[in-house]
Each structure stands twice: as structure tokens, then as C-alpha cells.
Structure 1
Amino acid sequence: MTYFVVELTFPIYSIKELDVYQVASSMPLPSPSSIVGAVGAAMGRTGLCKGSECLEAARRAVKIARPAATGYLTKSPVVLRRIRKILEEKQLPSDLGEFVSFSDAMSREYVLTTSLKVLIIGELKSEVLYLIDRIGDSESLASVVSVRRYDRAERCNGGVNVAVVRDVARGGSFTLVKMLDEAGRPRMYALPVVRTTGDVYMPSTIKTDRGVLCVEDIKFPEGYGW
């Protein structure tokens, strides 16, 4: 199995929490499904697949996709105004009055951070991962700083600093969030971040009952199913 460390920068990103309505609060870190979706979109740009086939192609290629907590982040609410129908229904407003009816305002949370690292385990080409251009909603534009590939991980000690399913967490400090896994199934995850004053989150570590592997400064559990 091959390990990839993808480092990204964002102006902002938003990954909507499940089961929220209208006010779209964001998860602190991207969900596994959002990372797999970004990989699928990148595979489509390379011509490896077309349309909805790309999501299934990404799910076959990616065994594990998890965000790592390597720095501070903060969340901030915004009022987002979006022009509807243009993309969805391929329409343009005919006059100013219709332009107003196309416009829609919504409350949303965005995450601000300097950079984000993502661990991807699977069989992919580095060139595909360089084409990731967003993770999250349509405003969550991402820039790939680097993609580093490793054929093996080293054994190490301590807690892990990647998102793991709740049943694997045995201690440490973490934030519980309901997210979709790599296959699109809802599960409870422990995120290796804790909220401090305001909406500032600092990185933390999670204890598990498994062996720990390291790739660079990313620590994750041994085996699968985490």
C-alpha cells in the first residue's frame, strides 16, 4: 500500500456538518468523504473517468483518507450571497428584477487556517493529487503545495493526530463529529483538535489500543477499520 501526504492551503473552507439545516455550521476538519470526492474530481480532470463514475473510481483507489491536525485553526460565521439557477438550471436573469429573485443569502461557517495536511492511503498517482482544487463547498478553493509519496510507514509511539472512528479512540483530547466515511456512510469520528477560547481550535492527540505508524509528522493507527 502507498502513503501520500498532501499539503494544501486555503483562503477558507467549509465542510457542512451533517443534520444541520439553513445555518450551515462547518466541521473543523474535512471528512473522509470530502477528501475522496476531491480525489474523484481530480481523477476526472486527468481523463481517468467521467462524471459520476469518478466518485466510485476514487472510492476504489483510496482505502483511507483522513485529515491531520498539525496547526491551529479557527471558525467564523459569514452571510453568503449566492446566485442560484445559473449553474443548476443554466439560466441567466433577463433583467434587474429577475436578478434579485435569483439571489439567495445564507448563514455559513468557514474555517481559517494557514495549511492543512491530508493522509491518503491507496493506489494512486501523485499527478492526480496535484489536481485537487477544492475540498468542501463550492467556495472552498484549495491549492496543493506538495504531494509526497511513501512506500512504507515507520513505527512510532504516542497518540495519533488524524481523524479516527469513535470506537478506536481510547483517550487523549478530541472533538466528536458525525461525518461520512470514505464509502459515504455516516459514522462518529474523533477529531484531533480541541476548542480553546472563542472558536479557535488547537491540535491534539488521540490514544488508541493499536500500534502507531508515522509518515513525516502524521501519526495514525496500524491496520484498517480506523
Structure 2
Amino acid sequence: MRNFFTVLGGMGTTATESFIHGVNTRVEAHKDQDWPNYLVFNHASMPDRTAYITGESDVSPVPELLEDIRQADALGTDFIVLTCNTAHYFYDELQNATQKPILHMPHIAVEALAKLSRDNEPIHRVGLLATVGSMKAGVYEREITRAGYEFVAPEPQLQARITSLIYDDVKGNNGLNEARYIRVLHDMLYKHNLDAVILGCTELSVLNEHFPRPELNVIDAQLETIYKTIELSTASALASASR
């Protein structure tokens, strides 16, 4: 197979399925050959990223991520999508292992805040809903502050509710609870006087897929990465056709 991208997924599997579904439903296709070529690594046995970052585990996911990248390189991938926000803590090490671009989901999400600024009032205060690992890693905080916004993290009680949505409802497959999810969104946005909030965990993107709230200033990092993936895969296909 030529002209394909690779998804490093399985972190978790439901979120990876959501990413692929998001790509497939947004591509303008009228026949089999119109869809993009892609390869999915559903690496569900990947060591827990948050546990390693927070020191609860000494088993790093990096060796297995690097092995997946080596395999994708050997097969000739055009670019790589890392569909786990927390794993971007290791982004520099992963990108240094390949000459093929790895999409940076936090950077893509923060870039998308500019669209909200054009459509509504200027964006100043930006909150993040993510894993404890992502919060500790600080990847989103750096991207948000570098772009000139004020970063706002949830207080411990709200973070516990976010963690429960991620690990109990989605990863734990205990069912998606719309009311719990919407209450978390509202509490984060309005109790912290935010202009926007970023969903910086692909499990939260699963909830957003099922219970979208377009009236709220919410940036879904996975959804923005889906748009970028389609853009790059289309460009790759066009470049190949012109050769």
C-alpha cells in the first residue's frame, strides 16, 4: 500500500475507533477509492501513560511507541497520528526517531482557538479537560501560554470528576452519561469564567462525539486532528497522482 498514514492507537481502543469513525464520516467520498489509505496500530497493551508520568508505574510506554514508529516507517507511511493526548509528553523523543511528521494534537487544538476568536469575542482564558498525566506533563499548558492565552486548570474536585468520565465511563466501558459530561463542561466553563475549554483527552472526544454542544466554546483536540489528518492525506494523494 502506498500513500497512507498510520494511526498509533489503542490508548484506548474506544477513542481510536472514534478517531477512525470521525475521519471516515468527514471524507467526501463517492466510491471506495475516494477514502484515504491508512493503517491502524490498535496497541491496547501499551503501558499506561498517566501512571508512568505520575510515578505510579516505572514501566515506560516509550519503547513500545518507538517500535510502532519503526514498523510504520518500514512500511512507508506518509505521516503518523498519535491518538493519545497524554502520550504527547514523549512527543520530542518520538519525533526524533523518524523523519516522517507526527501530528502534534495539542498544538493543533490550540491553533483552532483562533477560529473561536474570529467567530465570537476574543479568547483570553482557556481551560483544559484532560487526564492527570496530561496536566502533570504540562504539554497543553505550554502550548496555550505560548499562544498568548491564560491557562486555567480544574480544581482537584472537578479533576476527579473528569478522571471518572475518562476512566470509568469510557475506558471502563460503564456507559456514557450525558448529564455528568455536560455538568463537567458547564462547571469548567462558567465557574472558572472561561472563554473556551479544550477537550485534551480522546476519551472526552468520545463523549463529545455522542453529546455535542456546538453552542459552547469547546475545542475538541481529536476532532481538530481529524480535520488536519484529512487535509494531509488528501494533499498526499494529490501529490502522488501528479507524479
Shorter chain as normaliser: what TM range? Answer: under 0.3
TM-score of the aligned structures, taking structure 1 as reference length = 0.26
Higher relative contact order (CA 8 A, sep 6+): 1
More strand by share: 1
Q: Which has the higher helix share?
A: 2
TM-score under structure 2 length normalisation: 0.24
